[in-house]
């Protein structure tokens, strides 16, 4: 079965600083990978996804992520963080085959300092 | 753009009562997923439906049942509620003919069991 690990429970950055959120997955083949963002009391918004092809994917709100097969990683990055980016970020993996559900990591809470 | 609609947004029930959560997918989406997110937890997959048939089953308790109707909306029925059922329940939908893993989440129903 697939699994996702987000090593950082909480990250604090200053507004304007760069950001990298880590995500490692465990799966036997090339997975489908996602990053979602959740603001307090809100639903999950899809930031970006990787299915195949170019390993650097661009998402909404200026986010990007890079799939590195050799490291089983799919880290999320943003060059300059805005105060409105404060939220919880979830990495998720979907496996090939009949199983269609997403498996989520435990999330990383991002705090942005003024 | 239309989004996934969930109702009610908030629900308070007592132990041993029943609850029904409703989900209206984005138009032309034929697959619906239900997830449960406990306090401080990551979303956990419960069950999914494709073309009105159950397609996958996750960690859904036997006390819960769900179905998808002819208009593709779905209902999650929860009986004999327990305190541990207090959580945010998300519905997500996927487009017909699109990637099964491109899931769009609704805002969630917050269920509180007292």
A32 and B99 within 8 Å at the Cβ level: the answer is: yes
At B65-89, the pLDDT tens digits run: 999 999 999 999 999 999 999 999 9
Give B26's DSSP letter. P
User: Do the beta carbons of residue B85 and residue B105 sit within 8 Å?
Assistant: no
Looking at residue B47, its pLDDT comes to 93
Distance of CA B38 to the CA centre of its chain: 13
C-alpha span between A27 and A2 (Å, rounded): 5
Q: Are strands B10-13 and B109-113 parallel, antiparallel or unpaired?
A: parallel
Partners of B56 on chain A (C-beta within 8 Å) are 98-101
Looking at residue B42, its pLDDT comes to 87
Looking at residue A3, its pLDDT comes to 87
Looking at residue B101, its pLDDT comes to 66
The position carrying tokens 């650097």 is A56
The phi, psi pair for A62, rounded to 5°, reads: 80, 10
SS3 B114: coil
Partners of B33 on chain A (C-beta within 8 Å) are 100-102
User: Do the beta carbons of residue A22 and residue A73 sit within 8 Å?
Assistant: yes
Chain A: give the shortest CA distance to residue B60, in Å. Answer: 13
Query: Is the dihedral angle over the CA atoms A108, A109, A111, A112 positive or is it negative?
Result: positive
C-alpha span between B71 and B24 (Å, rounded): 9
H or E segment to which residue B72 belongs: none
Task: Report DSSP letters for B14-70, one per residue.
Answer: -TT--EEEEEEPPTTEEEEEEEEE-TT---EEEEEEETTEEEEE-S--TTEEEEE-T
When pLDDT is averaged across residues A98-110 and rounded to a whole number, the result is 83
Residue B99 pLDDT > 80: no
When pLDDT is averaged across residues B39-52 and rounded to a whole number, the result is 90
Looking at residue A5, its pLDDT comes to 95
**Which pair of tokens denotes residue B104?**
């769009």
Instruction: Classify the phi-psi angles of A53: left when phi > 0, otherwise alpha if psi is within -120 to 50, otherwise beta.
Output: left
At B28-40, the pLDDT tens digits run: 888 999 999 998 8
H or E segment to which residue A105 belongs: none
Which one of B41, B104, B110 has the shortest CB-CB distance to A46? B104
């Amino acid at each position: 079965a697939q699994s996702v690990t987000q090593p950082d429970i909480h990250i604090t950055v200053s507004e304007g600083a760069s950001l990298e959120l880590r995500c490692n997955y465990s799966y036997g083949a090339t997975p489908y990978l996602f990053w979602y963002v959740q603001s307090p009391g809100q639903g999950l918004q899809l930031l970006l996804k990787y299915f195949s092809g170019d390993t650097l994917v661009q998402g909404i709100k200026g986010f990007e992520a890079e799939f590195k097969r050799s490291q089983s990683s799919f880290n999320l990055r943003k060059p300059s963080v805005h105060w409105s980016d404060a939220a919880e970020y979830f990495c998720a993996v979907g496996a090939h085959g009949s199983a269609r559900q997403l498996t989520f990591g435990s999330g990383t809470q991002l705090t942005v300092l003024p | 753009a239309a989004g996934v609609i969930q109702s009610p947004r908030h629900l308070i029930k007592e132990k041993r009562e029943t609850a029904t959560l409703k989900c209206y997918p984005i138009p032309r989406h034929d697959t619906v997923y239900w997830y449960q997110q406990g306090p401080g937890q990551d979303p956990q997959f419960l069950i999914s439906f494709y073309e009105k048939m159950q397609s996958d089953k996750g960690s859904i308790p036997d006390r819960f049942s769900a179905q998808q109707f002819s208009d593709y909306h779905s209902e999650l029925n929860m009986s004999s509620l327990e305190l541990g059922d207090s959580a945010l329940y998300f519905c997500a939908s996927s487009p017909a003919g699109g990637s099964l893993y491109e899931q769009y989440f609704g805002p969630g129903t917050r269920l509180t069991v007292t």
